[in-house]
Amino acid sequence: MDFRELIKKRRSVRKFKDEKIDSEKIKEILSILDEIPTAGNLQSFFVYVVTDDELIKKVISEGFMKAYFDYAPLLFVFCAHPENASKYGDRGRNLFSIQDATIATTYVMLEVVNQGLSSVWVGAFYPDVVSRLLDIPSKYLPVSILPVGYPDEEPIKKERKSINELSKWIG
């Protein structure tokens, strides 16, 4: 797909069809992680791939701050790995590892669209609850979750600020 076309096609979808995603497709999506930029190439992130229906429902109902929806056939849970970036001190632990996990989320979100699927970035969740439910060790900090599935709605583009409000040319 053309890059711009892909970017425009990506919209937050919060209603998914009750249809499983082939594991080969999931592997294909994950393979994009092999290409992403990370601070010092340290790859200070980790991703949990959740396909167990009961667990997914629990994460959504107990871990999400708001009930956006009750089902998705797949969850990607992106974690920062702060100690892995500790060679950059506090900036590595508190910023670079979060940025690495965020970049990973962004690339995966776009590859999801490339594979004919949809997602929504979920930031409003309780990291401690999600960590408990998925048995995530304390060295990882969950920072973003992407519920993924075949779209069952067609979201329209929401109004944006103008580029002039969002940028300033210097020079």
**Among the residue ranges 11-19, 27-35, 92-100, 128-136, the one whose residues contact ligand FMN (CB under 6 A):** 11-19
Burial of 17 (0-12, 13-18, 19+ CB in 10 A): middle
Which of 75, 112, 120, 148 touches ligand FMN by CB under 6 A? 120
Could you tell me the CA-to-CA distances from 41 to 77, 84, 99, 101 in Å, in that order?
A: 21, 11, 12, 13
User: According to CB under 6 A, which residues from 123 to 162 bind ligand FMN?
Assistant: 123-124, 155, 158
Write the binding mask 69 to 108 for ligand FMN: x where contact by CB under 6 A, - elsewhere. Answer: ----------------------------------------
Q: Minimum Å distance from CB 93 to ligand FMN? A: 20
Q: Does 37 bind ligand FMN (CB under 6 A)?
A: no
Cα 136–chain centre separation = 16
> Residue 71: enclosing H or E segment and its boundaries?
none
The reply on whether position 61 binds ligand FMN by CB under 6 A is no
Burial of residue 46 (CB within 10 Å: 0-12, 13-18, 19+) is buried
Cβ at position 23, least distance to ligand FMN in Å: 26
What single-letter amino acid sits at 132? R
68/150 with CB nearer ligand FMN:
68
The stretch near ligand FMN (CB under 6 A) out of 24-32, 34-42, 52-60, 121-129 is 121-129
9 binds ligand FMN, rule: CB under 6 A: no
- The count of other CB atoms within 10 Å of the CB of residue 29 is 25
| CA dist., res. 81 & res. 45, Å (int) | 5
Binding residues for ligand FMN, rule: CB under 6 A, are 11-12, 14, 68, 120-124, 155, 158
